[in-house]
């Protein structure tokens, strides 16, 4: 049995706790590796070593730090196929999806090459007699990243990249479900020239996370995962005086107006609802057709498309639409929620509850499901299912559809499909959700914009990547300076002279 490691001070390190977690191949249901679970002492040592390494890294000029990012981009491109295969093997997503996961992470590393530009401060010449005022952005020190299973490359890269580019050291706690790619990325960073100890990877569960949250050296915490844990991490980190940004779950609505191009809307819903087995925080899990006729046409367009979806392991060729979900527990939870939808009166239009894949009977496969006539009181509407299940809620009017999206406790992403510019503009302005698509089903902002939800999808106030990430991972210091010639000119410094 393969035994995974931590990555400490530039090298793979075996765990010493004697406690291990199982890493599965979701397609076969077999355990493929053992993961060491770090003790508080192991986590603390990684943090303390990171603090030592950070001193020189923080003092390294931004251009040199940017060169490490540049090299990292080249190395990731070199190893793209190897990384994608390792990612699919633990996560279960198709190879094109795994490459997308890596690519969207890579784009943030590319953005970080602009660190020298992003970190330039502000300067006011002659703010008063002989007085100059300037501000600089300095790294926080050591920060922690606690990451989810669903994007094992993209999510860590979105955080580790900007944190390092700003001069911090990072202690990453990857998901215990698919930790191999984060370990491989840590190795590549060292090959790219990152000094040892600046990027530490500790594997573990709650105990490791709590140690990071309580450690006095840790200055900032970035979390991505489910909402209850996001809320917990945010409260504990901030109660300990740390800066925190915690991104949680989602229930993304896609509104289909009567004037929408129905083929485009249906195609969009298939990709956004079922891609990556629905295990994306930007997956569309609720379709909201406006009007009975629109609803009937939408269901009519969706059903044949869903029936054509090919569910199989990533090894089964390029035409696989999606693979298994991540764990047996996830599969059982999804099937349980589907059953609750039936019990609570929703119409299960595409029913794959008995889905079995020959040769992979023990794999964590869930077939695609489509519900119609879902209502807001049902569990399948209230909860994030995080599986290949699309719910349709029929709305009587645009206002009713908008209200549905606005009343939901989650506020990560949403989209509207329409040909009417007025409606689209009204929707974008009024909806209380962080990322909005207009005829775009998964409106994931690119690296140079910022990514983040509203309401219970985000705790904290600075988003992921883009300019916000450079703000999150730095502290502003403002200096007011006066030189002797200024004192001569203006006599004693008088604040009134600044009016």
Q: Which residues sit at the interface with ligand NAD, rule CB under 6 A?
A: 146-151, 155, 173, 175-176, 205-206, 209, 224-226, 229, 247-250, 281, 384, 386, 412, 453, 457
In the bound complex, what is the minimum distance in angstroms from residue 254's beta carbon to ligand NAD? 16
| Residue with Cβ nearer ligand NAD (7 or 386) | 386
| Residue with Cβ nearer ligand NAD (57 or 473) | 473
Local structure of 104: helix, strand or coil: helix
Catalytic residue flag (residue 166): no
User: How would you class 8 by CB atoms within 10 Å of its CB: exposed for 0-12, middle for 13-18, buried for 19 or more?
Assistant: buried
| Residue with Cβ nearer ligand NAD (344 or 383) | 383
In the bound complex, what is the minimum distance in angstroms from residue 165's beta carbon to ligand NAD? 20
Q: How many CB atoms within 10 Å of residue 258?
A: 16
In the bound complex, what is the minimum distance in angstroms from residue 438's beta carbon to ligand NAD? 21
Distances (CA, A) of 145 to 138, 142, 446: 19, 10, 21
| CA dist., res. 111 & res. 73, Å (int) | 10
| Residue with Cβ nearer ligand NAD (168 or 211) | 211
In the bound complex, what is the minimum distance in angstroms from residue 326's beta carbon to ligand NAD? 7
| Residue with Cβ nearer ligand NAD (146 or 166) | 146
User: How would you class 238 by CB atoms within 10 Å of its CB: exposed for 0-12, middle for 13-18, buried for 19 or more?
Assistant: middle
Closest-CB residue for ligand NAD?
225
Q: How many CB atoms within 10 Å of residue 305?
A: 18
Select which of 112, 166, 246, 281 is catalytic: 281
In the bound complex, what is the minimum distance in angstroms from residue 134's beta carbon to ligand NAD? 34
| CA dist., res. 472 & res. 232, Å (int) | 20
| Residue with Cβ nearer ligand NAD (94 or 412) | 412
| Residue with Cβ nearer ligand NAD (200 or 412) | 412
| CA dist., res. 196 & res. 186, Å (int) | 10
| CA dist., res. 384 & res. 393, Å (int) | 15
Half-sphere exposure of 120 (CA within 13 A, CB side): 6
In the bound complex, what is the minimum distance in angstroms from residue 40's beta carbon to ligand NAD? 13
What Rg do the C-alpha atoms of the chain give, in angstroms? 25
Strands (E), 160-205: 169-173, 199-201
Q: Between vectors from CA 13 to CA 8 and to CA 15, what angle results, nearest 5°?
A: 115
| CA dist., res. 171 & res. 198, Å (int) | 8
Distances (CA, A) of 77 to 70, 151, 156: 11, 18, 17
In the bound complex, what is the minimum distance in angstroms from residue 426's beta carbon to ligand NAD? 25
Which residue do the tokens 């059953």 mark? 339
The residues assigned a catalytic role are: 281
């Amino acid at each position: 049995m393969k035994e995974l490691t931590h990555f400490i001070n530039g090298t793979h390190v075996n765990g010493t706790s004697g406690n291990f977690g199982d890493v599965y191949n979701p397609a076969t249901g077999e355990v493929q590796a053992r993961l060491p679970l770090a003790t508080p002492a192991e986590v603390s040592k990684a943090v303390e070593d990171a603090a030592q390494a950070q001193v020189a890294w923080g003092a390294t000029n931004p251009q040199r730090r940017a060169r490490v990012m540049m090299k990292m981009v080249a190395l990731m491109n070199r190893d793209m196929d190897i990384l994608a295969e390792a990612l699919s093997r633990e996560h279960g997503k198709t190879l094109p999806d795994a490459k997308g996961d890596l690519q969207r992470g890579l784009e943030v590393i590319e953005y970080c090459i602009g660190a020298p530009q992003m970190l330039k401060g502000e300067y006011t010449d002659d703010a008063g007699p002989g007085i100059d005022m300037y501000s600089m952005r300095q790294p926080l020190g050591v920060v922690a990243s606690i990451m989810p299973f669903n994007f094992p490359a993209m999510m860590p890269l979105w955080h580790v990249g900007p944190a390092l580019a700003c001069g911090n050291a990072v202690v990453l706690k990857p998901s215990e479900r698919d930790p191999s790619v984060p370990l491989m990325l840590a190795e590549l960073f060292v090959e790219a020239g990152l000094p040892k100890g600046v990027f530490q990877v500790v594997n573990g569960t709650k105990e490791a996370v709590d140690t990071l949250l309580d450690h006095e050296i840790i200055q900032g915490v970035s979390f991505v995962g489910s909402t209850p844990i996001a809320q917990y991490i945010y409260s504990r980190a901030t109660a300990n005086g740390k800066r925190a940004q915690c991104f949680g779950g989602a229930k993304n609505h896609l509104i289909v107006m009567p004037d929408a191009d129905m083929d485009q809307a249906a195609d969009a819903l298939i990709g956004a609802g079922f891609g990556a087995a629905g295990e994306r925080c930007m997956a569309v899990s609720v379709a909201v057709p406006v009007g009975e006729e629109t609803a009937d046409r939408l269901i009519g367009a969706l059903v044949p498309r869903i029936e054509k979806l090919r569910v199989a392991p990533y090894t089964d060729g390029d035409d696989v639409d999606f693979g298994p979900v991540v764990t047996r527990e996830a599969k059982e939870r999804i099937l349980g929620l589907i059953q609750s939808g039936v019990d609570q009166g929703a119409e299960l239009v595409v029913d794959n509850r008995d889905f079995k894949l020959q040769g992979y009977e023990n794999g964590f496969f869930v077939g695609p499901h489509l519900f119609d006539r879902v209502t807001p009181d049902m569990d399948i509407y209230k909860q994030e299912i995080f599986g290949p299940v699309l719910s349709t809620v029929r709305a009587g009017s645009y206002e009713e559809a908008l209200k549905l999206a606005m009343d939901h406790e989650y506020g990560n992403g949403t989209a509207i499909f329409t040909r009417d510019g007025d409606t689209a503009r009204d929707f974008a302005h009024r909806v209380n959700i962080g990322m909005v698509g207009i005829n775009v089903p998964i409106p994931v902002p690119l690296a140079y914009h910022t990514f983040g939800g509203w309401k219970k999808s985000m705790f904290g106030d600075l988003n992921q990547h883009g300019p916000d990430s450079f703000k999150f991972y730095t502290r502003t210091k403002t200096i007011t300076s006066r030189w002797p010639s200024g004192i001569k000119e203006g006599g004693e410094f008088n604040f009134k002279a600044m009016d």
